[in-house]
Chains A and B, each alone.
Chain A
Amino acid sequence: MTLPVRSDGAYAVAGFTYVAERATAATARLGTARAELSLRAGQAGVYFPATGTGSAMTLTLADPSVDLCVTGVVLGIPAPNTTP
């Protein structure tokens, strides 16, 4: 699937939240950046370094039969949580 994030190649961390019916491995790509992910079952989120240039991130599941719904996606530089 394609996740709509734009990156100019500067250092960034990508992350997305999802709901998955079963655990599965997945590969995220943003330009030349690539991350091998291990997605667990249920409602969860994952973050990873993604320094690449592009207007979208692609997510490929190792097990295409898994039902997975991405519910949010971010790309940027992490900062400490300032909200209580």
Chain B
Amino acid sequence: MARAAERGLGWDYLTAPWGPKLLPAGFALAWVVTRIDAYGWELASGALLALQAAASLAMYRLLRVLFGARPLILVPLGLYLFTPLTLPGLLWWAAGLELVPLQLAICMALAAQVHYARTRRIRHVVAVAGWYLFGLASFFLKAAVGIPLLLFLLTSAYLAAGPWARGCWTALRRNLPVWGALAVVLAPAAVLYAVTADTGHQPVRLPGAGETALFAARLLGETFPTTALGGPDTWFGGLVAPSWWGIALAWAVLALYAAATLVLRARVARAWTTLLSYLVVADLLPVLLGRGAFEAQALEPRYVADAAVVFALCAGLTILPVGEETRPYRALPPRGLAVPAVSVVLVGVFLVASYASADAYTGQFAAQRARARGYVEAVRATLAAAPATADVYPQPLPEDVLIYGFGEGNLSSHLLSPLAPEPLRDRMRHPRPTAEPLVLAEDGRSLVRRASSAAMPRPSGGAGASPRRTAR
């Protein structure tokens, strides 16, 4: 928001790197929100929730397009709507600016691809390319590899006949306009990314085999399964901290479900392969290259938040037939009440666990959120009441208000100036020399003088440096 407040909505602002990231779509939203109400959480979170609602509708549309209008599509839709996987992206606004529009882009691109595979109409190619571009503009690294991967895997696995190997060849051959359009969109975006991305503070390197294995085991073996299935049972700040039984339970449910679907549903291995491929290529590899040396980062659920879309899609593919399949089922499920009863229990436990996990996750930040909100509102009032000529000097924000602040990015001249009316806003960014610099009090409720009387020695009979006695 501070960056949005300082710059116009132009190419330079939209394509400015955010570390190793490029997110013009998120920057555009941040610019609009900042111009209307800087640091207004209702507007900011409302905009993100509206995007999440759009992504949820897009998920529903994808399921309906792929499987048809049938009640059972509510199962994968419910999985997407209620899994705690998407939660970190909604609570941390900057993360949500990338993650939420990416999920919208994935769903819309896949739905357009299904339409193209069925109708061969060129407008669906344009739609695929357009949503791919939107995905790249939202979260470049994940979209660049993740969306083409999903398009290809879904098309080859379920929209083509025969064995998967033949389906791959058919998908390649029969969808050349789509692959060509993706390449046309990706090439200039990749050049822009290569030119602008700033990895100065984020060295890119593949860690050693041991570190890689540990990181992968944590991210894909603990963080993803526990969070996807309604957990984890405990959190440690923004990181998952599942108990051993939470991990075991998640894996047991996944294993039993996978075994059951392998028996009943044809082509089900393709769905699980699609999910695993996405997790490895789009969620594990980019994070591993940037953060692989820090094992604790593998417990960060926002790195796999976008996999909620793929997880729900693959859950749908394990129970529902796609129109193109001639024999979607290997066997009929057992008759009687066993399957409905187990399903109801699983869904009920998932919903209760998801609510409890989400409540525990958000509850941890309640005190910090209240402190930050109180501080921002106090600063807003203080600056509104301050004289336009006040010399408000840059200062670091309190550590319990700004958690992830570094260097000059943590200074009030950058972060709090959007809250000030002009011309005080400009003065905060470019302070003049003054005898009495003012800074905000720790609670933000007043402007106080900078230094204590002990910070600088008082004059003491000419004991200091004098130009008369010092060579100039």
* Chain A residue contacts of B458, Cβ below 8 A: 17, 71-72
Q: Are B464 and A72 in contact (CB under 8 A)?
A: yes
Nearest A-chain residue to B466, judged by Cβ:
A69
User: Contacts of B467 on A, CB cut-off 8 Å?
Assistant: 1, 59, 61, 64, 66-68
| A38 nearest in chain B by CB position | B433
**Contact in complex: A81, B460 (CB < 8 Å):** no
Q: Which of B151-159, B190-198, B326-334, B390-398 contacts A (4 or more CB under 8 A)?
A: B390-398
Prevailing SS type, chain A contact patch: strand
- B384 contacts partner chain A, Cβ-Cβ < 8 Å: no
Chain A residues whose C-beta falls within 8 Å of the C-beta of B472 in the assembled complex: 1, 60, 64
- Asked if B457 CB lies within 8 Å of chain A CBs, one says yes
The reply to whether the CB of B20 lies closer than 8 angstroms to some CB of chain A is no
Interface size on B, residues (CB 8 A): 39
Q: Enumerate chain B residues within 8 angstroms of A11, measured Cβ to Cβ.
A: 394, 407-408, 411
Closest B residue to A73 by beta carbon equals B456
Contact B466 A72 (CB under 8 A): no
Most A-side CB within 10 Å, residue of B441, B460, B468: B468
A-B Cβ contacts below 8 A, count: 123
In the complex the two chains form, is B464's CB within 8 Å of A18's CB?
yes
Min Cβ gap B398→A in Å is 9
Question: If the complex has contacts A13-B437, A67-B468, are A72 and B396 also in contact, measured as CB distance less than 8 A?
Answer: no
Residues of B within 8 A of A70 (CB): 464-466
**Is A37 located at the chain interface by the 8 A CB criterion?**
yes
The digit string for A31-75, where 1 denotes a CB below 8 A from any CB of B, is: 000011110100111111100000000011100101111111110
**A80 near B455: Cβ-Cβ < 8 Å:** no
Q: Which residues of A contact B465 (CB under 8 A)?
A: 1-3, 69-70
Query: How close is A77's CB to chain B, nearest CB, in angstroms?
Result: 6
Residues of chain B from 420 to 472 with CB closer than 8 A to chain A in the complex: 431-435, 437, 439-442, 448-460, 462-468, 470, 472
Q: Is the CB of B456 within 8 A of A72?
A: yes
- How many angstroms between the C-alpha atoms of A71 and B411 in the bound complex? 29
Interface size on A (CB < 8 Å)? 43
Task: Point out the residue from A46, A68, A73 that lies within 8 Å of B434, measured CB to CB.
Answer: A46
In whole angstroms, how far apart are the Cα atoms of A49 and B450 in the complex? Answer: 13
Contacts of A74 in B (CB 8 A): 451, 455-456
CB-CB under 8 A for A81 and B450, given A45-B435, A72-B458, A74-B455: yes
- Please tell me if the beta carbons of A1 and B433 are within 8 angstroms of each other in the complex: no
How distant is A50 from chain B, measured CB to nearest CB, in Å? 10
Could you tell me the distance between the alpha carbons of A69 and B408 in the complex, rounded to whole angstroms?
Answer: 33
Collect the chain A residues with CB atoms within 8 Å of residue B468's CB.
Answer: 67
User: How far apart sit A49 and B451, CA to CA, in the bound complex (Å)?
Assistant: 15
B227 → chain A, closest Cβ, in Å?
39
Q: Are B459 and A19 neighbours in the complex by a CB distance under 8 Å?
A: yes
Q: Which of B454, B459, B470 has the most CB of A within 10 A?
A: B459
CB distance from B408 to the nearest CB of A (A): 5
Collect the chain A residues with CB atoms within 8 Å of residue B407's CB.
Answer: 10-11
Q: What distance in Å separates the Cβ of A63 from its nearest Cβ neighbour in chain B?
A: 10
Contact of B459 among A17, A77, A79, A83 (CB under 8 A): A17
CB interface residues, B 61-109, toward A, < 8 Å: none
Contact A13 B460 (CB under 8 A): no
- Chain A neighbourhood of B432, CB < 8 A: 48
Instruction: A51 to B456: give the CA distance in the assembly, Å.
Output: 20
With beta carbons under 8 angstroms apart, the residue of A1, A16, A35, A83 that contacts B470 is A1
CA distance A74 to B462 in the complex (A): 18
Across the interface, do A48 and B433 meet the contact criterion of CB distance under 8 Å?
A: yes
User: What 10 A-B pairs are tightest by C-beta distance, nearest first?
Assistant: A71-B464, A48-B433, A71-B459, A72-B457, A83-B452, A72-B456, A69-B466, A1-B470, A70-B465, A70-B464
Q: Would you give 12 A-B contacts (Cβ < 8 Å), ordered by A?
A: A1-B470, A19-B464, A44-B435, A59-B467, A67-B467, A67-B468, A69-B459, A72-B464, A77-B395, A78-B437, A80-B441, A82-B452
